Amino acid sequence: MMFSLAMRNLMRNRRRTVATLLSMIIGLGAILIFGGYSRNAMYAMQTGYVQLHGHLQIQHEDYFLYGSGNPAAYGIVDYQNIMRQIEKDPILAPMITVVTPKLQLGGIAGNFAAGVSKNVIAAGVIVEQQNQMRKWDDYGSASYTPKYALSGTNADTVVIGTGVARILQLCTPLKVENCTRNPQAYRPTNTSSGAAPNPNQIPSDIAELSALEQNKTPLKPNEANQVRIEMLAANIHGAPNVASLQVSEAVNWGLKEFDDSFMVMHLGQAQKLIFGGDTPQVSAIQIQLHHTLQIPAARARLAQLLKSQFKDAPLAILDYETLAPIYGQTIKFFDSVFGFIATLIGVIVLFTVGNTMNTAVVERTTEIGTLRAIGQRRSGIRSLFVCEGMLLGLLGAILGVLVALIIAYIINHAGLSWTPPGYVYAYPLKVRIWGDWGLILACTNGLLFVAILSAWLPAHRAAKLMIVDALRHV
């Protein structure tokens, strides 16, 4: 009875009711669309980091903080046995898609024929397993993720960043764009003699090592036109080691600092550079799961496995959020923006519904006096106006969700894409509302709360009217 009467009261002034509903629909729709967009952005970034790092990594317990400059001192020696135990574990095996080793190392890449070199960071990987990791797409986010162009290549083949290619003057053979300036156009002079340095002059010890490496691996007839560089790295004993490497492709890695220093090579070549004839090690064992929600269970089981079977090895388990802190920072940023927008729209709806209910109280003051005169309690008057606000909130929530779903459908099928920070390949731009019941429930409940709150104050004022004053109100 109360709700029926409240609905009839709302229909008495359809124009005002429709205007109030429109403000609620637009506000709720805007919050849902932004929430769905930010959720898609988080899923896209998570997909990229899981493809790159895996969900979990097993590392030396001090490698994350201290090991990047000295991988040999913080390596995992018995990594193959650890991987076998993980792959055959009855609890972990159903969760896992890929278990793969990775060796990170630093060195100097040089095109010594041109007299140029560059400090680089290299990753030694098993290419097929890394490309398998890049197929992970639990959220339907990835569509343009490139694979490493190392499948089926020789053991000495590498992929370098386009920035490395520019610095090493390999733009033309590797077809790097935006590299038209002639690097020979400006060369600093020797401050002591005033003469320009010889571009082919390199340190004698590096030249000898490079020549020795090239003599050990002579070019085949079909390799005469291939692009080759040398990489100098310190081995496990601290002595310099040089490898002659074939460059298959220059890739834009997304971030300039990364692009100017990163390269990918086969794991065997990286281990040869660092460990030579000694026992090979790796920096990390990457573990990719079927679903992100499996991380807690997988981590607990891994900890138990390492503690029981490899208790003497100083190992730690890190997740992708720890390995990529920018992911958590981006989530906090989107959450703060979402909270600001939701608060702003909530205040607008609060004043809109409050103004509507205040106007209704003024227009129906005489009716309120009549109801009070025939025995209606103050709580009944208060409940009537609160019910009207609740109905406005309920209708606004239902219609707002429907409008947001329609707009989301249009956006999702428009073929739009976006490139997350630090990426060069795009992801489909989607607004994820349908299926995100937590987002829908939180937003609709918030709207209902604001509508009821904004109706309660005018309802309380109406309930406190004196009967005589209300009846003689004109």
Domain layout of the chain by residue ranges: 2-45+328-471, 102-280
Residue 454 phi/psi, 5-degree rounding, is -70, -25
Beta-bridge partner residues of 319: 56
Give Cβ neighbours of residue 452 (< 8 Å, ≥ 6 apart): 386, 389, 390, 393
> What are φ and ψ of residue 97, in 5° steps?
-100, -45
Distance from chain centroid for Cα 152: 30
Written as one letter, the residue type at 194 is G
* H or E, element range at 439: helix 437-463
Find out whether 71 and 104 touch, Cβ atoms under 8 Å. Answer: yes
Confidence of residue 356 (pLDDT cuts 50, 70, 90): confident
How far apart CA 401 and CA 28 sit, in angstroms, is: 7
Q: Is 299 exposed, middle or buried (0-12, 13-18, 19+ CB in 10 A)?
A: middle
Percent of the chain's residues with pLDDT above 70: 86
Structure tokens at 83: 């991987």
CB 451 within 8 A of CB 381: no
Contact 344, 8 (CB under 8 A): no
Q: How confident is the model at residue 45 (pLDDT cuts 50, 70, 90)?
A: confident
Average pLDDT, the chain: 83
- Lowest-pLDDT range of 60-74, 392-406, 458-472: 458-472
Supply angle C-alpha 390, 396, 397, rounded to 5: 90
Model confidence, pTM: 0.79
Confidence of residue 349 (pLDDT cuts 50, 70, 90): confident
17 or 195, greater pLDDT: 17
pLDDT in tens, 149-178: 888 889 999 999 888 998 998 988 888 877
Residue 293 has pLDDT above 90, yes or no: yes
Among 128-132, 144-148, 377-381, where is mean pLDDT lowest? 144-148
Residue 200 — very low, low, confident or very high, per pLDDT cuts 50/70/90?
very low
470 pLDDT band, cuts 50/70/90, is: low
Band of pLDDT at residue 283, cut at 50, 70 and 90: very high
Going by C-alpha positions, the residue among 420, 358, 417, 434 that lies closest to residue 389 is: 358
Least confident of 133-142, 161-170, 175-184, 429-438: 175-184
The answer to whether residue 372 scores a pLDDT higher than 90 is: no
End-to-end CA distance of the chain: 28
DSSP label at 294?
G
pLDDT score for 123: 92
Please state the length of the chain: 474
The count of other CB atoms within 10 Å of the CB of residue 90 is 7
